[in-house]
């Protein structure tokens, strides 16, 4: 489809503001047609996301809820076509005209709200500029070493078969490992392993992770089954699936970054989901070897915030002891353990540090004494004593948590440093379970949401500096607290300095911000 010259001129005209719903895919479609969308943007999907992050932001729902208008129906086949990486504009033009009209009407509804003080900066200085940053990242994509994944897949297949044989040998028979019914019968009837769980609605034994984990110390077959499941999932979800996402035209993987999904402000990614590649296991982290620079003139650079959420807790709670540990550059988990167990820093054992780390991160997410006991092997009374000691040693954190809940009770929402709100209608619920969930969100939202805002601000500033300096290096991935770049070898030092400066100074906090930077010929090497 040939776009008329006056339309192209209008799209490229910087003086003309552009309004739409979910503008990023449109920016990419136009770019592949050789047209850059210029001018100020107003995205009604992003506006509604800033107004109410927990709500659904689909255009058809917003049209019905705010305008009382029902969009034309689109069949499933047409819907799939509009979700292609490089869709044909001819096929989607009718729907696009209607969507543009509805978006313009929604803008009139949303503009006064996002212009309010608590929304203005977040919308106009963070979320809207981020649209172009994410569009550029999706356009660039990342190179994938497909032969490596093929070799790795074959290697994993051998390991899976070996585990399978070991399981059958211990069970004394062969059976369908993918069948929970057969597995339950083998474990709890044939092998006579004591079963303490509840049966499923159909009367079967439960063979979920929780049940198998609880018996694996006494019955090693359960641990092998868990390992088998983990390998099968890793192979099918990533090792075998990733090559299918290499685009035939660009020969790169183009993940889609979802800007309006997580209520906390965090980005997610789909097609493929790169946020969930497991990195805590050796097998999982090996997958990162498959992500490589675009050519021999480039290297991958990974920049990762160090313990950013815990540093934000220190900054927001103003707890003197936690702040001091960070200012002194101590191993904060070891420093915490030293206070919890009342021993000198050099006497802290690996187990003490591990328990302290569990408390440091767990309390942010509402972990109870019962939860700590389950994770560490302590008794519940020991876990309760550790938590009590933690709040004694770090009174600012306890005060911060209590005030976050109280503030949410009064206001009905929790808030990040940048003013991102998460509404918590259940914060005053009479149901203790429901209320407890809202209270945990009241504590967690300012922490996780501020971390999300922080990395978004860093991304925008780094992107601008790269453009200003006319660097050929590109930002290509954002994974939680980490940014990944395809960097020209001759630009490494300049790019590194820009990245570190803007990640460290995205938000001015009382606590030192540390950014770990690595460089390599694949993502694992860089990380």
Distance between CA atoms of 520 and 527, rounded to whole angstroms? 8
Pairing mode, if any, of strands 413-415 and 421-423? antiparallel
| Bridge partner residues of 305 (DSSP) | 515
pLDDT (0 to 100) of residue 163: 95
| Bridge partner residues of 486 (DSSP) | 300, 474
Residue 82 pLDDT grade (very low, low, confident, very high; cuts 50, 70, 90): very low
Residues 6+ apart with CB under 8 A from 265: 53, 416, 420, 448, 449, 452, 453, 456
pLDDT at 296 over 70: yes
Strands of 223-347, DSSP E: 256-258, 268-270, 291-292, 298-305
Quote the pTM value: 0.90
Distance between CA atoms of 382 and 166, rounded to whole angstroms? 38
Distance between CA atoms of 493 and 254, rounded to whole angstroms? 27
Nearest Cα neighbor of 138 from 312, 267, 306, 303 is 267
Nearest Cα neighbor of 385 from 351, 355, 354 is 355
Helices 350-362 and 380-393: crossing angle in degrees, nearest 10, is 70
C-beta separation of 86 from 249 below 8 A: yes
Map residue 76 onto helix, strand or coil: helix
| Bridge partner residues of 413 (DSSP) | 423
Residues 6+ apart with CB under 8 A from 491: 471, 472, 473
pLDDT (0 to 100) of residue 377: 74
- Report the pLDDT averaged over residues 213-221: 88
pLDDT (0 to 100) of residue 92: 63
pLDDT at 357 over 80: yes
C-beta separation of 443 from 451 below 8 A: no
Cβ of 233: how many Cβ atoms within 10 Å? 11
Percent of the chain surpassing pLDDT 90: 72
pLDDT (0 to 100) of residue 84: 53
pLDDT (0 to 100) of residue 48: 97
Residue 60 pLDDT grade (very low, low, confident, very high; cuts 50, 70, 90): very high
pLDDT (0 to 100) of residue 203: 81
Q: In the predicted model, what is the mean pLDDT of the chain?
A: 91
pLDDT at 372 over 70: yes
pLDDT at 511 over 80: yes
For 298-324, write each residue's pLDDT tens digit: 999 999 999 999 999 999 999 999 999
- Report the pLDDT averaged over residues 413-433: 94
For 110-155, write each residue's pLDDT tens digit: 999 999 998 999 999 999 999 999 999 999 999 999 999 999 999 9
pLDDT (0 to 100) of residue 80: 52
Q: Is the peptide bond before 272 cis (omega within 30 degrees of 0)?
A: yes
For 243-279, write each residue's pLDDT tens digit: 999 999 999 999 999 999 999 999 999 999 998 888 8
The pair of three-digit structure tokens given for residue 245, joined into one six-digit string: 């996402």
Cβ of 192: how many Cβ atoms within 10 Å? 8
Residue 373 pLDDT grade (very low, low, confident, very high; cuts 50, 70, 90): confident
60-74, 414-428, 453-467: range with lowest mean pLDDT: 60-74
């Amino acid at each position: 489809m040939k776009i008329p010259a006056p339309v192209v001129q209008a799209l490229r005209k910087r003086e003309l503001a552009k309004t739409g719903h979910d503008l990023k895919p449109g920016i990419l479609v136009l770019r592949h047609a050789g047209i850059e969308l210029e001018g100020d943007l107003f995205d009604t999907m992003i506006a509604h996301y800033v107004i109410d992050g927990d709500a659904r932001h689909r255009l058809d729902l917003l049209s019905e809820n705010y305008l009382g208008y029902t969009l034309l129906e689109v069949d499933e086949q047409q819907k799939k076509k509009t979700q292609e990486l490089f869709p044909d504009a001819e096929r989607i033009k009718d729907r696009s005209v209607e969507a543009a009209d509805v978006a313009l009407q929604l803008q009139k509804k949303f503009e006064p709200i996002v212009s309010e003080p608590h929304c203005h900066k977040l919308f106009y200085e963070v979320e809207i500029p981020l649209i172009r940053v994410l569009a550029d990242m999706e356009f660039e994509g990342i190179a994938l070493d497909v032969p490596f994944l093929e070799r790795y897949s074959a290697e994993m297949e051998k390991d899976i078969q070996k585990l399978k044989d070991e399981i059958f040998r211990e069970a004394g028979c062969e059976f369908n490992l993918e069948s929970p019914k057969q597995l339950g019968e083998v474990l709890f009837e044939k092998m006579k392993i004591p079963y303490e769980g509840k049966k499923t609605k159909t009367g079967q034994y439960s063979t979920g992770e929780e049940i198998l984990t609880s018996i694996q110390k006494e019955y090693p077959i359960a641990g092998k089954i868990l390992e088998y499941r983990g390998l099968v999932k890793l192979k099918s979800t990533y090792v075998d699936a990733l090559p299918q996402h290499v685009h035939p035209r660009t020969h790169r993987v183009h993940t889609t970054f979802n800007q309006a999904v997580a209520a906390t402000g965090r980005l997610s990614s789909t097609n493929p989901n790169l946020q969930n590649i497991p990195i805590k296991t050796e097998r999982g982290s090996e997958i990162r070897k498959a992500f490589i620079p675009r050519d021999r003139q480039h290297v991958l650079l990974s920049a990762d915030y160090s313990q950013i959420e815990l540093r934000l807790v220190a900054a927001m709670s103003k707890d003197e002891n936690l702040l001091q540990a960070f200012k002194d550059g101590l191993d904060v988990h070891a420093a915490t353990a030293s206070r919890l167990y009342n021993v000198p820093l050099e006497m802290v054992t690996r187990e003490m540090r591990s328990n302290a780390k569990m408390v440091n991160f767990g309390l942010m997410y509402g972990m109870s004494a019962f939860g700590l006991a389950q994770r560490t092997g302590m008794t519940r009374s020991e876990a309760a004593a550790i938590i009590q000691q933690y709040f004694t040693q770090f009174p600012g954190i306890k005060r911060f948590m209590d005030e976050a809940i109280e503030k949410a009770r009064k206001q009905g929402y929790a808030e990040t440093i940048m003013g991102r709100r998460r509404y918590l209608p259940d914060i005053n619920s009479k149901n203790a379970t429901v209320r407890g969930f809202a209270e945990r969100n009241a504590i967690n939202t300012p922490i996780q949401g501020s971390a999300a805002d922080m990395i978004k601000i860093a991304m925008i500033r780094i992107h601008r500096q790269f453009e200003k300096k006319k660097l050929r290096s590109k930002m290509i991935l954002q994974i939680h607290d980490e940014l990944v770049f395809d960097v020209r070898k001759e630009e490494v030092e300049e790019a590194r300095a820009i990245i570190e400066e803007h990640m460290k100074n995205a938000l001015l906090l009382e606590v030192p911000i540390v950014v770990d930077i690595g460089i390599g010929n694949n993502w694992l090497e860089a990380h």
